[in-house]
Copies of this chain bind each other. A is one copy, B any other.
């Protein structure tokens, strides 16, 4: 077990490690869009999805992996109307063939969050 905290990512304000490596797998905590200081980024939705994926990518990189090694993604959106726009951004970022994925609509702890992405990467 090895906790993963990217050097350039603010320490989370809640009790979680941004990533945790265990065996051949790297578990990435749910990542929301953030500004450089760690506060929630509120922008156009494309920028928000890219920021959440940037954070996933930063955790993967700090753990020695990349988006191409994702095997499972869980995406959470605040509204069903966001699915198409989410997929438009997502498909440009993940590997081909893409990871397994589940995407559902939930609410978040912060009222301005519209997307959160958690992931599992394979390091084997």
Contacts and interface: CB of A to CB of B under 8 A. Distances in A.
A112 to B, nearest CB: 11
Contact of A99 (B20, B72, B94): B20
Contacts of A94: 15
Interface in A55-82: 69, 71-74, 76-77, 80
A100 B56 CA distance: 12
Q: How many copies altogether?
A: 3
Most-contacted residue by chain B among A5, A27, A87, A106 (CB, 10 A): A27
Chain A interface bracket (under 10, 10 to 19, 20 to 34, 35 or more):
35 or more
Contacts of A76: 102, 104
B116 A17 contact: no
